[in-house]
A = this chain, B = another copy of it.
């Protein structure tokens, strides 16, 4: 590799309170350092935009320490190994991991999480259905919700990267699928692209009444990405023995102090229901199993990923806000410029 490569990054330049917007990020350029022994250089192709990134920008306790100001925004990305001084990686391999919002990532391999081996398929899938979104849907639905054929499965953020995969997998398993989403456009997307039996726009009309109509026998499985008022409504319509996967809390942006809401205890008792938190990394050893299954479903046309692609670093700056406003119409990605 030329020692004269220029890195182009999107750095966190100020700390937001709540959801970060374009103003909290700056695009800069700097030199790519020489590789040391054990290091690889990855040229990124796509950056991911995920709900967890909001938390990473805030200086509050989380799974990971906050992103330091002045450094490239932490994010998942996929790209090609273009130079390697690490025997475990070969030039030409496609890898994904927490590579950050930067054109070139130098890595010792520790932040590489996956090798994208289904190279007959587009590498952008490694950030969605064949990456963490896909495995989150796969394990969160199959291992925590444990859907049975004929169950009614309700999914919040039903058109999103995780939700759309949940809906499609549940359908493959013989369930009746009901999606909750935030626009009429996404309602159409849910039905036409993701095969939901019913889809509800929670922003218009009475969600409780619409849900009751869509789930006359109650909700057997609920895959929740929202927390907040949508979840509160679904929890009033649980079927006996319902299982709830708590995967995300996108509708509540601030957890300090812990927000209040209707207590779920009695609903869990009356329905003898189970509510369980998911962190997908607990299933890490089984990721290859899930990704191979998902890739097969993608090739067979049984599972699809809708993508919403932002073009380049400048556009990335407003991406997290866009995600929290629900303005994306598929897995939100940045094509690296």
Q: Enumerate chain A interface residues (CB-CB to B < 8 A).
A: 63, 224, 227, 231, 246-249, 252, 255, 258-279, 282
Contact = CB atoms under 8 A, between A and B. Distances in A.
A25 to B, nearest CB: 25
Contact of A265 (B227, B268, B270): B227
Contacts of A271: 277
A274 B276 contact: yes
Contact of A270 (B63, B260, B267): B63
Given A260-B260, A260-B261, A266 B249 contact: yes
Nearest to A63: B270
13 contacts: A252-B263, A255-B266, A258-B267, A259-B263, A264-B275, A268-B275, A270-B277, A270-B279, A272-B277, A272-B278, A272-B279, A274-B275, A275-B276
A277 B282 contact: no
B227 A246 contact: no
A77 to B, nearest CB: 24
Contacts of A246: 265, 268-269
A260 B262 contact: yes
A258 B232 CA distance: 10
B265 A249 contact: yes
Residue picked from A227, A249, A271, A277, most chain B C-beta under 10 Å: A277
Residue picked from A63, A263, A272, A274, most chain B C-beta under 10 Å: A263
A231 B269 CA distance: 15
A258 B247 CA distance: 24
A269 B282 contact: no
A142 to B, nearest CB: 16
Contact of A268 (B258, B261, B276, B282): B276
Contacts of A227: 263, 265-266
B274 A274 contact: yes
Contacts of A277: 265, 267-274
A259 B259 contact: no
A274 to B, nearest CB: 4
A273 B276 contact: yes
A272 B271 CA distance: 21
A203 B304 CA distance: 56
Contacts of A276: 268, 272-275
Contacts of A231: 265
Contact of A263 (B261, B267, B282): B261
A255 B270 CA distance: 12
A266 B272 contact: no
9 shortest interchain CB distances as A-B pairs: A268-B277, A269-B277, A274-B276, A258-B262, A260-B260, A227-B265, A261-B263, A275-B275, A246-B268
Contacts of A273: 276-277
A238 to B, nearest CB: 9
A260 B258 contact: no
A33 to B, nearest CB: 35
Contact of A278 (B249, B266, B269, B279): B269
Nearest to A281: B272
Contacts of A282: 272
Contacts of A274: 274-277
